[in-house]
Amino acid sequence: MKVIQFLPSLESGGVERGTLEIARALVDAGHESHVVSNGGRLVDLLVSQGSQHHNWPLHKKSPITLRHVRPLRKWLQQFDADVIHVRSRMPAWIAWLAWRKMNPATRPKLITTLHGLHSVNRYSEIMGCGETVITVSNVAKKYLVDNYPRIDAAKIKVIHRGTDPEDFPRGYQPTDQWLNNWAKEWPKLVGQRLICLPGRLSRLKGHNHLINLIQRLKQQGVDNIKGVIVGGVDSDHHTYLASLKTDIASKSLEDDIAFIGHRSDIRDIYAISSVVLAVSTKAESFGRTVLEPLSIGTPTIGFDIGGVGEIFSILFPDGRVRSQDADDLFAVCLRILSDDTRDTKARIKDNTDFLLENMCKQTLSAYEELVRRDG
C-alpha cells in the first residue's frame, strides 16, 4: 500500500509521535509511507526511518489555508495513494475538501484519527469524516458518539495507543553513566524523592497542582521532596512560564522545583522519580505520560478523567484521584509516598493492554480492510 498521513507539523507531541510510529510500521511491513506536514524537527527522523515527507502548510486555522484545496486535489490525483490518513482538524478539512471531489472509483480511501476531545462544533466534527474513524480510547469514541449524531458509530474503531516494552521495560533502571551525568547537571536533585510532571508547558497541564502539592508536602514535614517539571516552552507560553516562576517564588520554593526543559531521556527521569503526576485540568483522549511511567513500574497518580482515567482503571487504580480537588490529590500522593515502595510497585499491573505493537497492527489492518472492502 501507499499511505499518506496528514498532520499540522512534526515538532513534538503525541500526534506527531503516533504518526512516526505508524510510518515506521508501514515501512517495516514493506509498504510505502508518506507524511504531509509543515515540517519540524522530527522530519529528519521520519526520513531516516524510510518514509518520505512532503511539506504543505495546512496547519494555520485560517480561511486562507483553503487556497490549498485545489492544488492538493491535483497532487493527490497524480500521487495515486491507496489511503490518506488525517490526524488533525485543519489538515482534515483541507484533505477532505480535496478528496470529496475526486473520482470515487479511483480516489484513496480516507481514514481519520481523533486524538483529542475538542470543543464541540462543526469544525471539530470533521474528525468523523473518514470512511473509517479511529479513536485512541473508549473515552474518545464516546465523545464522538455523544456529540455528533451524524457520524455513523459503526465505522468507529477504538485503537489504543501504546508503548514498546523494549523502550519502557518493567523495572527499568538508568545506567551508572546516566546517573553520573544527571548528578553533574542537577546536583540539587540527587538523593531526593522526585515528583515529576511531564508535558509541554501549557496551562492545561496543571502545573499549579504540582507547585501547591510540593508546598503542602513540605508543610506536612515530608522530607527530601523536589518537584521536576519536564517539558519545553513554545513562543506562545513564555508568559505562562513567567507566571509559574512568580508563583514558585511567592511560596519560597525556588530550590524545591526544577524546570529541566524538553528531554530525550524521559524514561530515565521516570525511573528515578518517586511519583509521576498526570493533573491536566481538561480531559485528554489518552494519556501517554501516564502509560509510560506505569509501564516501567513507577507509581503515577492523576485525575480520574478522560483517557487518563481509562488507563488508571486498568493498570493502577490506586493512582486515581477521584476529583480535581487539591485535598484529594494531596491525600493520594501522601499515601503513596508513605507506603513501602516495593508494595506500591507490586500493585501496578504489567502493561499488556496498551502496546505499540498492537496499535500498529490494528492500524495497518484498518488500512487493509478498507482498501479490500471496496477494492
Of 141-155, 157-171, 231-245, give the lowest mean pLDDT range.
Answer: 231-245
Nearest to 211 by CA among 189, 190, 227, 235: 227
Per-residue pLDDT at 361 = 97
Looking at the structure, tell me whether residues 233 and 286 fall in a common domain.
yes
In this structure, is residue 168 part of a structural domain? no
Looking at the structure, tell me whether residues 250 and 362 fall in a common domain.
no
Query: Which residue matches cell numbers 484519527?
Result: 113
Looking at the structure, tell me whether residues 119 and 215 fall in a common domain.
no
Looking at the structure, tell me whether residues 136 and 273 fall in a common domain.
no
Task: Let me know if 84 is exposed, middle or buried by CB neighbors in 10 A (0-12, 13-18, 19+).
Answer: buried
**Digit-coded pLDDT (tens) for 194-231:** 999 998 888 888 999 999 999 999 999 998 999 999 98
User: Is residue 236 predicted with pLDDT exceeding 80?
Assistant: no
Average pLDDT over residues 336-348: 92
Looking at the structure, tell me whether residues 138 and 189 fall in a common domain.
no
**Digit-coded pLDDT (tens) for 258-308:** 999 989 899 999 999 999 999 988 888 888 899 999 999 999 999 999 999
Domain around 88: 2-162+355-374
Average pLDDT over residues 232-255: 88
Looking at the structure, tell me whether residues 99 and 201 fall in a common domain.
no
In this structure, is residue 167 part of a structural domain? no
Looking at the structure, tell me whether residues 261 and 212 fall in a common domain.
yes
Average pLDDT over residues 125-144: 96
In this structure, is residue 233 part of a structural domain? yes
Looking at the structure, tell me whether residues 247 and 204 fall in a common domain.
yes
DSSP 202: -
The phi-psi region of residue 7 (left if phi > 0; otherwise alpha if psi is between -120 and 50; otherwise beta) is beta
Average pLDDT over residues 125-143: 96
**Digit-coded pLDDT (tens) for 145-161:** 999 999 999 999 999 99
Per-residue pLDDT at 375 = 59
Domains contained in the chain, number: 2
Backbone angles phi, psi at 32, to 5 degrees: -105, 120
- Out of 11-25, 120-134, 192-206, 339-353, the most confident range is 120-134
Per-residue pLDDT at 336 = 95
What is the CATH number for 247?
Answer: 3.40.50.2000
Average confidence score pLDDT of the chain: 94
In this structure, is residue 336 part of a structural domain? yes
Looking at the structure, tell me whether residues 155 and 8 fall in a common domain.
yes
Per-residue pLDDT at 275 = 97
Query: Which residue matches cell numbers 459503526?
Result: 154
Looking at the structure, tell me whether residues 248 and 123 fall in a common domain.
no
Looking at the structure, tell me whether residues 154 and 185 fall in a common domain.
no
In this structure, is residue 362 part of a structural domain? yes
In this structure, is residue 184 part of a structural domain? yes
In this structure, is residue 170 part of a structural domain? no
Backbone angles phi, psi at 317, to 5 degrees: -55, -30
Q: Which helix (H) or strand (E) holds 236?
A: none
Looking at the structure, tell me whether residues 215 and 329 fall in a common domain.
yes
Backbone angles phi, psi at 88, to 5 degrees: -155, 155
Partner residues linked to 302 by β-bridges: 278, 320
In this structure, is residue 171 part of a structural domain? no
